[in-house]
């Protein structure tokens, strides 16, 4: 029961909790992203890459809010503006990966019908979206953990001793 409270209700106290929370955050952002992509593509007739980009942006906004306010314990960047710029920069790199992977599935693999009659070539972009999501999730987690959410540097005794020297 304590682990459940740690996982959902208390501030994150270690990287495992942050990773598990990131899975929830990523899953929620994926649902927003995927639903936006599918609705824009299937209902509104928007091109695959445009729909994918708009879905990705919607997912990034959800991901940012949940990451900052719930998933990670603290940021090593105090300025909210700078933190957002770094977050968006990581997301843009993820968007490029996302679109390259989806385009590869939608154009190259669909054209060659690598899945045969298992899936219509018009739906290869959906399989590409799943592959892109997995790839970009790991990119996002490790990049954010390294660049944004390492937490505040803990002052050691030697740091304290050197301050007075």
User: Which helix H or strand E contains 60, and what residues bound it?
Assistant: helix 48-66
pLDDT for 151 equals 63
Q: The pTM is what?
A: 0.66
Predicted confidence (pLDDT) per residue in 73-108, tens digit: 777 888 888 888 898 899 889 889 988 999 999 999
Which segments of 39-123 does DSSP mark as H helices, in order?
48-66, 80-103, 110-112
Burial readout 53-66 (b: 16 or more C-beta within 10 A, e: otherwise): bbbbebbbebbbeb
> Looking at per-residue confidence, does 90 or 151 come out higher?
90
Q: Confirm if 126 and 23 have CB atoms less than 8 A apart.
A: no
Q: Confirm if 99 and 106 have CB atoms less than 8 A apart.
A: no
Cα–Cα dist 68/142, whole Å: 15
Cα–Cα dist 76/84, whole Å: 12
Average pLDDT over residues 11-29: 84
Residue 158 has pLDDT above 80, yes or no: no
Model confidence at 152, pLDDT cuts 50, 70, 90, reads: low
pLDDT for 133 equals 86
């Amino acid at each position: 029961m304590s682990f459940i409270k740690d996982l959902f209700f208390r501030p994150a106290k270690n990287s495992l909790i942050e990773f598990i929370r990131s899975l929830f955050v990523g899953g929620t952002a994926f649902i927003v992203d995927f639903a936006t992509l599918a609705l824009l593509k299937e209902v509104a007739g928007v091109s695959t890459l445009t729909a994918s980009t708009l879905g990705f942006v919607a997912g990034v906004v959800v991901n940012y809010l949940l990451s900052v306010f719930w998933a990670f314990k603290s940021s090593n960047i105090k300025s909210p503006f700078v933190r957002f710029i770094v977050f968006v920069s990581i997301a843009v790199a993820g968007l490029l990966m996302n679109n390259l992977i989806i385009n590869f599935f939608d154009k190259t693999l669909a054209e060659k019908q690598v899945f045969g009659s298992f899936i219509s070539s018009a739906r290869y972009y959906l399989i590409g979206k799943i592959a892109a999501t997995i790839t970009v999730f790991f990119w996002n987690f490790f990049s954010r953990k390294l660049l944004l959410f390492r937490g505040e540097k803990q002052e050691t005794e030697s740091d304290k001793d050197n301050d007075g020297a």
